[in-house]
A and B are shown apart, each in its own frame.
Chain A
Amino acid sequence: MRRQVPLFITFFVGTLLIVSVFIPPMENLGEDFTLFFDIIAVFAFFLGGGNLLRVHLTKLYRKSPDWGFSVVTVVGFFLMLAAGLFKIGNPGDISASVTAEGSMFQTMFNNVVLPLQSTMYALLAFFIASASYRAFRAKNREATILLVAAFIILLGRTPFGMMLTAWIPDSWSVLQVPNLAIWIMNSPNLAGQRAILIGIGLGVVSMSLRIILGIERTYLGDDR
């Protein structure tokens, strides 16, 4: 029974949702199931928050290395949670948007979260530059093709690309760097991306059928 009940639920819901797409009167069923999913997904927030606290409070209790960072995490978590739940400093009443301008939540978001996340992402520029220097070497034929394509795209995304190749006559304008960059995106990239997408699509259909029909059971903790 431990196996048969989940397998039956999966088969029943999966089949129902597929059928609901093709039969208009059953369209609402698909919407309702999505709403049920949303309700279940809400509990993931509790699970996520609880897990974060468990991990960091354990680190604090054991005074593990770098426990100071855990203090920042836990304090930040509760501060944002309180600011959002009780809508501290919110210009409207309790029904107003949690992110209303002037609220403590929005102030902390604008002045702490926003600059910190932007800074972290901006650091990528340095690492990408360093990685490009080390990785883009014409070691073999494939690496050379990658290198040339990257070079054209990089140059094509700047005004210098056109400056360098503006002398090429209009009849050969496809050889101008920005147009070469567009060609790379529109032809080889497009072909590759579409092939990948079609492959993924077929894979998803195949895997979904295997799960609905009970052939694939690894999600039940069964490795057969």
Chain B
Amino acid sequence: MIPFEPIRLFAFGGFNVPIVISLLIIGGGMLWLLIRSLKAKEVDRRIVFVFIFAAVSAPLLFEITFDETATPIVKGVFEKIENMPERSRIVIAFDFDPAMAPEVQPMANAVIRHALAKNHRLIFISLWATGQALMDKTISEIIPAEFPQKQDGIDYVSLGYKAGNEGVLNVIVSNVKKMFPTDVNGVPLTDIAIFNGVRSMKDVDMVMAVGGGKPGPKEWVLFVGDAPGGPPVAVGVAAVVAPQMYPYYPKQVLGILGGIKGAAEYESELLHNYPRFAEQDTPGLRMMGPQTLAHVVIMAFIIFGNLAFFIGGRHKEKRL
């Protein structure tokens, strides 16, 4: 079902000494811990911290990357944006804070690049106070540099942050101007070309809700996507939230970008279809290295813990 992809450890021509040394150190340490566990000795949590630090920092320092292939749940989002007619209106919701940003920001970046490359129009909105600053940062970093021909108000617009959580969605699903009389710069929505013919969220072509808390993607699905005549909704969420979104897929949600892996899969699909973005940063793919090694280290520690637990005979102890 999912094709096998090799690890690109030696992708940059020849033998990558720092990577191999890092892996040997981590692997050697793991072997030492395995021997300790076989002697039923528990591992101090500071040792766990050291290994996690090494597992996360080595791939970042030496750029250990892995090839990713988009799974159907991610491909659904990509293909929707790819196949919509030009000048379609896509709402991008920034419902997250800096804490969640490393995980979900790469998704937002990739979707923005993809949509603008397809000549779609973007409407940015945030239900989180911290989302507006992240939204403006993203817009100013991506659009002027990579899409200098795109104009504020014609090709994209930022509505900024609005307090009120689900209440905001409850209103904009039938009347956007009632809740957002102006854009973030104080320009009335009636003077913004992108809103010509848009009365409510039912008049946009798609919503890409990026976030992971409350209010967030789930609320966009329930209050906007599920409203009669509501637009299709795709979500990009933190990995811990992804399982909560599965009940809505595929009928209420087009696709789910779950955690860094979801972002990496989308970036991979974008690079495959749009080689012009090869020069751009791909944090999703870059962070799959640390995530992969960290997962392997955590799995190893789970095995060590159970070995020590059973060999030490603690499983026979009577528990209350």
Contacts and interface: CB of A to CB of B under 8 A. Distances in A.
**Interface majority SS on B: helix, strand, loop or mixed?**
helix
Nearest to B68: A159
B295 A158 contact: yes
A13 interface: no
Interface string B1-38: 11011010000000000000000000000000000000
Interface in A131-187: 132-134, 136-139, 147, 150-151, 154-155, 157-160, 162-163, 166, 173-174, 176, 178-179, 182, 185-186
B223 to A, nearest CB: 11
Contacts of B164: 34, 37-38, 41
Interface string B148-180: 000000000010101110011011001100110
Interface string A112-133: 0111111011100110111011
B52 A133 contact: no
Contacts of A155: 295, 299
Given A159-B67, A190-B247, A31 B298 contact: no
B45 A130 contact: yes
Interface stretch (A50-58, A70-78, A97-105, A212-220): A97-105
Given A106-B133, A125-B56, A151-B302, A95 B186 contact: yes
A110 B306 CA distance: 43
Contacts of A173: 1
B5 A126 contact: no
Given A38-B163, A97-B160, A99-B136, A125 B52 contact: yes
Interface string B281-309: 00000001001101111110110111001
Given A27-B174, A38-B163, A133-B298, 5 more contacts: A35-B179, A37-B164, A105-B133, A118-B102, A150-B302
5 contacts: A97-B158, A117-B98, A129-B52, A137-B309, A160-B296
